[in-house]
């Protein structure tokens, strides 16, 4: 579903944020992307979603190159950033309808999905309010609903559990599982290693823009914990945080 092929990204100032990343997220995967602050996680996620331009390597979604046909790949993808900067001047429902219109979701289908997810995440009563009045967690919930209403084949999330209350975090995990059962893939970055270990069938650890390890969670973690593995890899490489 999502394939990074020797992907590298160098910013205008010369900083090489990601260096030769190769990774394959298959349909049905819940793929955790772990790394220190500034390791290159967000850059990789943004490039996959067509937000950041890149010249080296390639990224494919559903077999289509993000570079060659970004519109086609974006139609299959939903992206939730770490900090949900949404249109604060819109009401929650206006924002969801905007996203629905952009993805061409028919009104009846959209309304049903909005009702379903808004009830699930308990923000149905807030959809008539301006997003500017929402808390961080409510914005996060709205961003999640907006990502789900067009039934993406690939869900890319940057720190999705930050700001969510325990119930919403639990619900999100359920949604992840449902999506994967339906054949979608989930690729997300996180610092919460316990969540990654329990939730993801595959993980990748990135450090200083380079992939340190990737594969099935069970095989990487073995008998220890992901936290131990992560810290051990960081020490072995001798990198900074």
Partner 1 sequence: MRQFLMLYKAQLSAMFWSGNKKTAKKGKSLRPRSMAGQALLWVFVMALMGVYEFIFMSLLAAESQGDTAALASFPALVAFASMLLTVITTVSYAKTLLYEAKDYELLFSLPISGGVIVAAKIATLYTLDLIFSLAMMLPCGVFYGLFAAPSVTFYLFYFLLILFVPLIPILVACVVSALFSLIASRFRRTQMITIVLYAIFLCGVMSISFTMSSTTEEGLIGEMFMGALASVTAWYPPLAWFYEATVSGSALWALLFVGVSLACFALVALVIGKFYGRFQEIFRPRAVRRKYKAAEKSSGVMVALMKKDWKRLCSSAGIFMNQLVGLLMLVFFAVIFGVTDLAGGEEEAAEIMGVLFPFIFAMAASMVMDTSTSISLEGKTFPLIKSLPISPKTYLNSKIMLHMTLCAPVITLCGIGVSIAKGLSVVNLIACVVIPLCYAYSSGVIGLLINLKKYKFDWTSELMVAKNSLPVMLATFGGMILSLVPMGIAIALCGSGFPVSAVLIFFMALAVTVAVLMGVILNALGENLFMKIEY
Note the residues at the interface with partner 1 (CB under 8 A): 11-15, 17, 46, 49-53, 71-72, 74-75, 77, 79, 81, 83, 85-94, 97-107, 110-111, 114-115, 124-130, 132-134
Nearest distance in Å: CB 189, partner 1: 15
- Of 148 and 203, the one with the shorter C-beta distance to partner 1 is 148
Q: For residues 94 and 192, which CB has a smaller minimum distance to partner 1 in the complex?
A: 94
Shortest Å, Cβ 149 to partner 1: 11
Least distance in Å: CB of 93 to partner 1? 4
- How many angstroms separate the CA atoms of 51 and 23, rounded? 19
Residue 138's contacts (CB-CB under 8 Å, 6 or more residues apart) are: 123, 126
d(CA 119, CA 122): 5
* Segment holding 34, helix H or strand E: strand 30-35
* Smaller CB separation from partner 1, 50 or 163: 50
Nearest approach, Cβ of residue 111 and partner 1 (Å):
4
Give alpha helix (H) positions in the chain.
Answer: 41-48, 70-76, 92-102, 107-120, 136-148, 166-181, 193-199, 217-221, 226-237
Nearer to partner 1, 119 or 224 (CB): 119
């Amino acid at each position: 579903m999502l394939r990074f092929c020797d992907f590298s990204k160098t910013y205008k100032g010369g900083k090489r944020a990601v260096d030769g990343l190769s990774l394959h997220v298959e349909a049905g995967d819940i793929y955790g992307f772990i790394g220190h602050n500034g390791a290159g996680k967000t850059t990789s996620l943004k490039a996959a979603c067509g937000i950041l331009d890149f010249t080296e390597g390639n990224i494919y979604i559903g077999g289509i190159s993000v570079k060659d046909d970004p519109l086609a790949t974006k139609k299959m993808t939903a992206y939730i950033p770490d900090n949900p900067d949404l249109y604060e001047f819109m009401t929650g429902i206006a924002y969801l309808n905007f996203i629905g219109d952009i993805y061409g979701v028919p009104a009846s289908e959209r309304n049903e999905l909005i009702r379903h997810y808004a009830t699930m995440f308990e923000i149905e009563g807030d959809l008539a309010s301006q997003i500017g009045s929402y808390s961080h967690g409510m914005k996060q919930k709205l961003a999640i609903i907006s990502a789900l209403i067009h039934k993406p084949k690939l869900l890319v999330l940057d720190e999705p559990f930050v700001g969510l209350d325990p119930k919403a975090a639990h619900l999100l995990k359920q949604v992840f599982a449902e999506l994967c059962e339906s054949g979608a893939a989930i690729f997300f970055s996180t610092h919460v290693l316990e969540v990654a270990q329990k939730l993801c069938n595959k993980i990748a650890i990135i450090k200083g823009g380079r992939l340190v390890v990737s594969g099935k969670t069970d095989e990487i973690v073995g008998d220890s914990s992901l936290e131990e593995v992560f810290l051990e890899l960081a020490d072995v490489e001798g990198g900074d945080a």
